[in-house]
Every structure is written in C-alpha cells, then in structure tokens.
Amino acid sequence: MDGVEEVKSRLSVEDVIGEYVQLKRAGRNWRGLSPWTSEKTPSLMVSPDKQIWHDFSSGKGGNIFSFVMELEGLDFKGALELLARKAGVDLEQYRTSGPSRGPSKEKLYQANELAAHFYQAQFIKSRVAIDYVSKKRQFTGDTTLAWRLGYSPNTGSALVDYLKSKKFTPDEIKRAGLANSYGKDMFRGRLMIPLADGQGRIIGFTARILDEGEPKYINTSATVLYDKSRHVYGLHLAKEAIRKNNYVVLSEGNLDVIASHQAGVKNVVATAGTALTSQHLKALARFTSDIRLAFDADKAGLAATERAIPLASQAGVSLSIISIPSGKDPDELIKQDKSKWLEIIEKPKYALDWLVEQYEKRLDLTGARGKREFSDVLLPVVKQLDDKVEQDHYLNQIAKILDVSASSLTEKMAGASEPISAPRRRAKEPAKLTDDERQIAEKNKIEEHLLAILMNQPKLLKSANLVTTKMLSSAAQKAWRVVNQPNYDPKKPVQNLDDYDKILGLEFEELYQGLGVDELTYEVQRLQSRLIEKYSKTRKSEIASELASADDLRSEQLLAEAKKLDNLLKQAIERRE
C-alpha cells in the first residue's frame, strides 16, 4: 500500500467533506449544499460506498483529494500532505529516493511493543504498582497480564536507555511518543496502560499517577500511530462481545473498561475522557448501531452528550445513556455489585430524553430565565438531528415542558447557532467563472449525465449515435470508448477511469434510478441534442475566427463544416421531438 492508498483507507469521504459542508443522510448517500454555488437546495452528493463525491450544480466531482484541491486551492501534493496530517500518515516512509526524514511505522510499532515489555518487567519489581493494581483496583493476575499493565520507573531515562541498547535512535524513540523534548522518558513513576489498535498492536500509553498529584493521567501525544480522536480503548478485546451482544458501552476511563471485562461484561470500551468524535462512532458502528454512554452526569458529561447526539444522528447510530448511581463510577459499582452494573447497562435511556431530564432537574422552568436557558441548550441539539420526525417530536416535547408554542420554538431554532459539533473549515471563496468557463462547465454536466445513463444502460447507445468522440472532454472520451466496446458489461469494474465511472454511477442513482426504458431513451436523445448544440456553438465560433484569415479553399471547407453542424443539430432535435 502506498501513501495515497493509506490516506484513503484511513479517511472516509463523508468525514473529510463534512468538515466543510453540513451533510445529511439521503438513503445510502449523504447530501449537502454546494460550496461553489449559491443554490439553496442540496446538490452535493457524497457516496460512502464508492468513496466519491459529485456536485450536480457545478459539475465537479472526484475523491477526497480532488475535493480538498478544489476547496483549498492546492495541487495534489499539497492536498495529500494536508490529508496525511489529518489521517496520521507519515508520508516519509513511502519515499523511494532521497534521505528519509522519519522512521517507518513498523519501527515505531516495534518501539512501542518493546516499551510495553519493559514496563511489564518493571511492574513486577514495583511494590507500589502491584499494591495499587491488586489491592485498590482489585485486578487479578490474569487481568493484569491480559491488559499488559506495567510501571514506568522514576529514574529519568530508563526506557530511553533500554531502547537505545536495542538499536533505536533518539529520533525514533521520540517519534514513537516515548521520549520528551529533552530526550528523557516521557512517563515516570506511573502505572502504564498500553493502548492498542483494533489488531492489538501497541500504539501508545496512558499513564496514571500512583499517589496524589496532577495530572492524574497522561496520554501519549499525537504520533503517526496514535490519534486520540480515533482511538477506541479496548476494542481489540471487546469487538467479539460487541458483535455477540449487539451493543457497546462507552465509558470514560480505561480502568473502568478493565474492571468491567474482569467482571465478565466485555462489550465495554473507552475514549480519551469524554471527547467523543464522529471517528469513534464510525469505528464502533462497524460492530453495532447501539451505543450506550456511561459518562458522569456532571457538567463535562452533559456537554459531551450535547456534542455526541448530533454526531450520532449523522452517523446513523442509536445513542443512549447509562445512569450510574450518584457519586460512583463504573469501577466502584462493579466492585460493590457487578450484577448491578449489568442491570443498568441493559436499561439505558435514549440520549436526548436523558438530556431533557437532566436540564429539567437543573433549571427553574417556572420563570422566563430558566425557560430561555433550557431552550438555549436544547434547541441547537434538536436543530442538528437528521430525522425531521424526531426533530418535530422534540420540539413539541420541549414546547409542552415550557408551556410555549411549538411555532415559537421553531422560529427560535431557525436562528440557533450550532456550536456542538466540531467547527467546519471555511471553504475559500470561489472565483467567479468567465462566460467561456461557464459554457465548458455546462457542457461537461450534459456529457456526464448522458454517460451516466449509457454506462448503466449500454443498450441505449443506439439512441446517441450522433455523438462523436471529438465532441467530448478528455475524461468523457475515455468513458465513451469504454461504453462503446463490444464486450462492455456495466456490472464489471472499469479500469483507468480515475473514479469518473463511480461519479457517473452516483449520478445515475440520484437522477435516473427507477426510470423506465422509454423515459431513459427520451432523456438520452434530449441530452444528445443539448450536447451537439453546445459543441456546435463552440465550434462555429472557432470557425468564424478562422475564416477571417483563411484562403478560399480553407474557407470552403470551414463553411461546409458549419453547414454539417447545422444539419447534425437539426437531426438531433428532430429525434428528440
């Protein structure tokens, strides 16, 4: 796999475009407003299945790289570098020539794996760490081994010295997240909790202090391997249980996850605190659509739930909340009564219902101030729900609680800001198209629509037999040659079209799916006449310019060509009618 393919494998097209455009689910695809036009109806379509996008209003389309190139004004190299940073991909490992500026990912995996072994060996020597794990946390020896818990000695550079003895360079150790900027150990005097990817490879660590002091937890900084916005702790050991139970519990703490697994409830994972992201939800959605949060009902937990509800709606998953008895965390509850833990995770409350209840308890809803604060908090959440029926349900529920009209809430919601989800990057102001550029864009759109039908319904080619290769743009010419091959099969993948065939497939789904043969035949003939009209207009303009300096023979040839164009257009219009 090269750098481009690895970036594509890590980033979904809907996540990348969702940073610029608000997307809403439309069947299997996503839909949003075009960032290039001022149209008020969604014309930008995004296909997760095909990993491509197409903007019907401007005729632009492609993959994640072409989108960033268009929006950011970058060349391919710049777009690749931007997306590689977002995906946590080190492009240097794919360089084929010249000096490498960084270690390979495999080298960083090896460093983290050796670090985990080192910390485990140190754990056995530390009475403080053993007492904390076995007595305070009540983890068994088997649990400690399964989760590879360790201890980082407080000696300054013990791990760094060990890795150097294994032929790792200071740069490799630092890039693995194991050394600080001074070249000393990143973690010292702490319980070490290895962080693993979905395949169980160590990508970083969480380090917990064993006595009093702050910060209580330190995580590996962002590296090529570790990105806290994507990493789900414990997924490698929980995924089979998630599949079996068809739901997952998401807790705040890594040690809560370990305690739950030890108690036999293994469909439990964690994120880095309450910072739940769409990437976390998508990772979990591969195993189940039922996601249950075990967050504290404090200010941070409420804010996390407010952020998570719209993300879950956009990801198409069901989000609910597990209500833990006041003053306890999952680890304490499990130690007290593990059957109680199992009982509460099986009785979650739908997230937005839970959020409404929490603010009902916290605010005085008898006065205007409390009603304003209640609606200020909840309306931005409701506004971002993808399902209009669900949105309407909560508007009516909030109106009933506040004893106000639903219409007044609808009016207020229309002006409500959306501070909950991550801010979208502002697209660069598009340059205005010249008349010639506009004509080219319109022609490209016509030929794409025509080819979208023909590539999916090649039997209709006979209805477009007035079209010739020279009328088409270079991308369309490739597709035209493919569809005109005697052995062309629309069900088989096409090579060397650079996603153009996928874009055409998306266009067919959105514009023509479900139409009968007669309707499609008419549409082919209509598009053929429009394409010939556009081509004829452009070519006749070129002929007029050339006539000004042409000799008699050339003039005759040009005039004859112009007459043929007129006849061709007349023929195409007659067929259409």
DSSP track, 95-133 = --SS--SS--HHHHHHHHHHHHHHHHHHHHH-HHHHHII
What pLDDT, on the 0 to 100 scale, is given for residue 426?
A: 47
Among the candidates 68, 94, 120, a domain finishes at: 94
More confident residue, 88 or 253: 253
Cβ atoms of residues 234 and 261 within 8 Å: yes
Amino acid at 450: L
- Report the share of the chain in percent with pLDDT over 90: 28
For Cα atoms 325, 327, 333, give the angle at the middle one, nearest 5 degrees.
55
pLDDT digit string, tens, across residues 415-446: 655 444 444 444 455 455 567 777 787 888 88
Q: Same structural domain for residues 142 and 182?
A: yes
Whole-number Å distance between alpha carbons of 425 and 445: 27
What does each C-alpha distance from 345 to 291, 495, 556 come to in angstroms? Answer: 11, 49, 85
Q: Same structural domain for residues 393 and 441?
A: no
- What's the CATH number where 54 sits? 3.90.580.10
Q: Same structural domain for residues 410 and 447?
A: no
Amino acid at 201: R
Q: Could you tell me if residue 316 is inside a domain?
A: no
pLDDT above 90 (res 264) = yes
Q: Could you tell me if residue 128 is inside a domain?
A: yes
Average pLDDT of span 376-385: 87
More confident residue, 64 or 552: 64
Q: Model confidence at 541, in pLDDT bands (50, 70, 90)?
A: confident
pLDDT digit string, tens, across residues 460-495: 999 998 999 989 988 788 889 888 988 888 877 777
List the domain range (segments joined by +) for residue 217.
102-226
Average pLDDT of span 396-409: 90
What pLDDT, on the 0 to 100 scale, is given for residue 327?
A: 59
What does each C-alpha distance from 561 to 472, 536, 566 come to in angstroms? Answer: 18, 10, 9
What pLDDT, on the 0 to 100 scale, is given for residue 254?
A: 93
Q: Same structural domain for residues 403 and 492?
A: no
Average pLDDT of span 294-312: 80
Q: Could you tell me if residue 232 is inside a domain?
A: no
Q: How many separate domains does the chain show?
A: 4
- What's the CATH number where 130 sits? 3.90.980.10
Q: Please give the model's pTM, rounded to 2 decimal places.
A: 0.59
Per-range mean pLDDT, top range of 69-83, 121-135, 452-466: 121-135
Amino acid at 367: G
Sequence-ordered list of residues with C-beta below 8 angstroms from that of 140, at least 6 positions apart, any chain: 134, 262
Q: Model confidence at 129, in pLDDT bands (50, 70, 90)?
A: very high
Q: Is 542 exposed, middle or buried (0-12, 13-18, 19+ CB in 10 A)?
A: exposed
pLDDT digit string, tens, across residues 154-213: 988 999 999 999 999 999 999 999 999 889 999 999 999 999 988 889 999 999 999 877
pLDDT digit string, tens, across residues 496-509: 677 777 888 888 88
Sign of CA pseudo-dihedral 470, 476, 479, 483: negative
Q: Same structural domain for residues 379 and 478?
A: no
Q: Could you tell me if residue 329 is inside a domain?
A: no
Q: Same structural domain for residues 548 and 444?
A: yes
Q: Same structural domain for residues 531 and 511?
A: yes
What pLDDT, on the 0 to 100 scale, is given for residue 144?
A: 96
pLDDT above 90 (res 125) = yes
What pLDDT, on the 0 to 100 scale, is given for residue 126?
A: 95
Q: Could you tell me if residue 25 is inside a domain?
A: yes
Q: Model confidence at 353, in pLDDT bands (50, 70, 90)?
A: very high
Return the bridge partners of 290, or none.
318
What pLDDT, on the 0 to 100 scale, is given for residue 252?
A: 84
What pLDDT, on the 0 to 100 scale, is given for residue 319?
A: 92
Average pLDDT of span 525-529: 90
- Report the share of the chain in percent with pLDDT over 70: 93
Whole-number Å distance between alpha carbons of 521 and 179: 67
Q: What average pLDDT is seen over the chain?
A: 85
Q: Same structural domain for residues 62 and 138?
A: no
Among the candidates 226, 242, 264, a domain finishes at: 226
Cβ atoms of residues 289 and 316 within 8 Å: yes
Q: Could you tell me if residue 342 is inside a domain?
A: no
pLDDT digit string, tens, across residues 56-102: 877 788 899 999 888 877 778 888 888 887 887 777 666 654 444 55
What pLDDT, on the 0 to 100 scale, is given for residue 420?
A: 40
Q: Same structural domain for residues 79 and 206?
A: no
What pLDDT, on the 0 to 100 scale, is given for residue 97?
A: 47
Q: Could you tell me if residue 419 is inside a domain?
A: no
